[in-house]
Structure 1
């Protein structure tokens, strides 16, 4: 996901995407604790996506 993809979204859409990504990050962390996560770089990309969404939300306000 790139920041330019988030530029035209409304605050409600961004809020929904943020909730999805936080749930995804939570499940990835659980998988890592249970030794089921094979690709640990997914954690980093999920965190970065959350940061991008937060940045876009601050720009909308």
Structure 2
């Protein structure tokens, strides 16, 4: 996911996407703890996506 894609979205859309991505991160963390996660780089990608969404939300708020 690129920041340019997120910059075009509204605040409500970003909030919904952020909630969904945080839920995904939570499930990935649980899978990692239970040794069921095959690709651990998914955690890093999810965290970076959340950071991009937070940045886009901050830009929309200004």
The residue correspondences of 1:1-61 to structure 2 (distance < 5 A) are 1-61=1-61
Distance of 1:5 and 1:45 partners within structure 2 = 16
Structure 2: runs of 5 or more not aligned: none
Question: Which ranges of 4 or more aligned residues in structure 1 deviate by more than 4 Å?
Answer: none
**CA-atom RMSD in angstroms:** 0.3
C-alpha separation in 2, matches of 1:4 and 1:46 = 17
- Please report the TM-score for the alignment, with normalisation by the length of structure 2: 0.98
Q: d(CA) in 2 for partners of 1:48 and 1:59?
A: 17
- The Cα offsets for residues 11-39 of structure 1, whole Å up to 9 and x where unpaired, read as 00000000000000000000000000000
| TM-score when normalising by structure 1 | 0.99
Q: Please report how far the alpha carbon of residue 9 of structure 1 lies from its aligned counterpart in structure 2 after TM superposition.
A: 0.4
Cα separation, 1, equivalents of 2:14 and 2:33:
29
